[in-house]
């Protein structure tokens, strides 16, 4: 809200922790923080709601300070791992076919 007799709009925001430093009370390693994020996303919760739940029940104030990446980036990376598995399995199926039809050498990997 603007001031009555000046151009300023004021400064109101919650104070964040020092950036880049994981809080001392968080005992989970960064790899374990990604698991509940993916679990909550499968239930259909938004990233902001996931952040609120992690803050209230797990004691993780800022996911980025613990893991080094945001919730949305963690979810995108998890989805890309699944796609990578699908692509690799497709390549193995094609390789098996081409080895059988003798278009690839039998020792090809």
pLDDT of residue 60: 84
Q: Quote the tokens at residue 85.
A: 């598995």
pLDDT of residue 58: 83
Which residues of the chain register pLDDT less than 50? Answer: none
Q: CA 52 to CA 32: how far, in whole Å?
A: 17
Q: CA 36 to CA 18: how far, in whole Å?
A: 24
pTM above 0.85, yes or no: no
Q: CA 55 to CA 63: how far, in whole Å?
A: 9
Query: Helices 30-42 & 71-100, crossing angle to 10 degrees?
Result: 80
pLDDT of residue 1: 64
């Amino acid at each position: 809200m603007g001031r009555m007799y000046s151009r300023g709009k004021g400064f109101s925001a919650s104070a964040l922790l020092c950036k880049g430093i994981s809080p001392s009370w968080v005992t989970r390693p960064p790899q374990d923080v990604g698991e509940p994020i993916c679990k909550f996303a499968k239930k259909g919760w938004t990233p902001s709601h996931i952040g609120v739940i992690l803050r209230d029940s797990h004691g993780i104030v800022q996911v980025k300070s613990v893991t080094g990446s945001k919730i949305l980036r963690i979810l995108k990376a998890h989805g890309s791992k699944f796609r990578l598995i699908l692509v690799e399995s497709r390549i193995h199926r094609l390789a098996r076919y081409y080895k059988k039809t003798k278009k690839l050498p039998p020792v090809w990997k």
